[in-house]
Amino acid sequence: MPGTVKTRLIAGIGRDRATALYERLVLHTVRRVTESRLCPVELWCAPDTGHDLFRTCMLDFGTDLHVQVGDNLGERMLHALSASIVRENPVVLLGCDCPSLTPIDIRNAFRILHGGHDAVIGPALDGGYYLLGLHEAAEALFRGIPWGTDAVCEETCQRLSGLGRTIYQLGARRDLDTLEDYRAIRQSGEHDWLFEEASQGRMETGLWRSG
């Protein structure tokens, strides 16, 4: 895993610290989702489910583990959504990059979907999104999207509108993807648990706590 996650942070903070941040964000997200107590929680993993981080999510939080399938982000998200909708409906997709995510955000997403909207989206400040909730998988929402750019959320909303879907937008939040995000979140002082030092630069589960 080191060197393959949070790659845009490595040049500024180093490989091990970037990995530690990723691990803390994953555990934070899984904890927040399970705290909402709204639905079964699935974690879609790459390249497989064998990493200790993923096993911790399964053992400590009861998360179901699945292997990501697809050659790019859009294909992997579409496959996860299509597979999950067979088991549960609606489905809310979450990234593991948003430290300010709360159980209330997740409850609101499901409330909005059950209340009649076709889609709910949580815009990220960088132009992507941190949450996407749907009743059905539509390939148009995941094929040909300019992933990693500031046009992702806008393009997704335009495609939803083009499909005749009703959309509800949650409040915008900051993902932690770049050094700019890292500095802004650290300076805010709101998520100090992300930046606490852990032994050998890596996060130990017993040392971790989220705010």
Let me know if residue 162 belongs to a domain: yes
Domain that holds residue 127: 7-193
- What's the structural domain count of the chain? 1
Instruction: Calculate the CA 100 to chain-centre distance.
Output: 11
Let me know if residue 98 belongs to a domain: yes
Helix (H, G, I), strand (E, B) or coil at 97: coil
Helix ranges (DSSP H) in 37-102? 52-61, 73-87
Let me know if residue 99 belongs to a domain: yes
Let me know if residue 44 belongs to a domain: yes
The rounded percent of the chain whose pLDDT value lies above 90 is 80
Let me know if residue 202 belongs to a domain: no
Let me know if residue 210 belongs to a domain: no
pLDDT digits 0-9 by tens, 144-202: 999 989 999 999 999 999 999 999 999 999 999 999 999 999 999 999 989 886 434 44
Let me know if residue 205 belongs to a domain: no
Q: Which pLDDT score is estimated for 197?
A: 67
Let me know if residue 211 belongs to a domain: no
- Is 18 within 8 Å of 196 (Cβ atoms)? no
pLDDT digits 0-9 by tens, 9-35: 999 999 999 999 999 999 999 999 998
Here the CATH number for the domain that contains residue 109 is 3.90.550.10
